């Protein structure tokens, strides 16, 4: 049996996606499978921050699933869980604008999240 301690990760998030997370409508976060996220696991906390602001929110990681690319991720997770305000094709284009093909080739992570109570101001 492995003794594993949950960790807190700090990640930046664009305002539009931050607002969806804090509203509770975005339940899947999409990330490239970077080496610094390789050990992200259920039970960890992600503290999302809006760049250049004091706004933040904490989410609990419920599950991390690897996919070979963003298309497979959206098909596997359902686009409405990633961004309920955009179509699948719009989301794929948006994700690929954020992460170029040299990043997508590393693989994609679907991180199922649940908003947790605010740790204190500023939120």
Encode pLDDT of 5-48 as tens digits: 779 999 999 999 999 999 999 999 999 999 999 999 999 999 99
User: In this predicted model, what pLDDT tens digit does every residue of 43-85 receive, in sequence order?
Assistant: 999 999 998 899 999 999 999 999 999 999 999 999 999 999 9
Give the pLDDT of residue 5.
76
Q: What confidence score (pLDDT) does residue 30 get?
A: 98
Radius of gyration in angstroms for the set of CA atoms belonging to the chain, rounded to a whole number: 14
Strand partners, 31: 109
| Cα–Cα distance measured from residue 104 to residue 79, given in angstroms and rounded to the nearest whole number | 17
Say whether pLDDT at 4 is over 70: no
Residue 107's nearest CA partner among 22, 18, 26, 37 is 37
Question: Could you tell me if 86 and 94 are in contact, meaning their C-beta atoms sit under 8 angstroms apart?
Answer: yes
Q: Considering the entire predicted model, what is its pTM?
A: 0.91
């Amino acid at each position: 049996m492995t003794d594993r301690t949950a960790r807190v990760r700090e990640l930046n998030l664009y305002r539009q996606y931050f607002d969806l997370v804090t509203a509770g409508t975005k339940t899947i976060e999409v990330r490239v499978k970077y080496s610094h996220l390789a050990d992200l696991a259920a039970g960890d906390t992600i503290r999302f921050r809006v760049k250049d602001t004091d706004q933040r929110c904490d989410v609990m990681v419920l599950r991390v699933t690897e996919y070979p690319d963003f298309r497979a991720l959206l098909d596997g997770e359902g686009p409405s869980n990633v961004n309920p305000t955009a179509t699948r094709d719009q989301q794929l284009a948006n994700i690929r604008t954020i992460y170029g093909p040299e990043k997508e080739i590393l693989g994609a992570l679907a991180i199922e999240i649940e908003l947790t109570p605010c740790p204190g101001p500023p939120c």
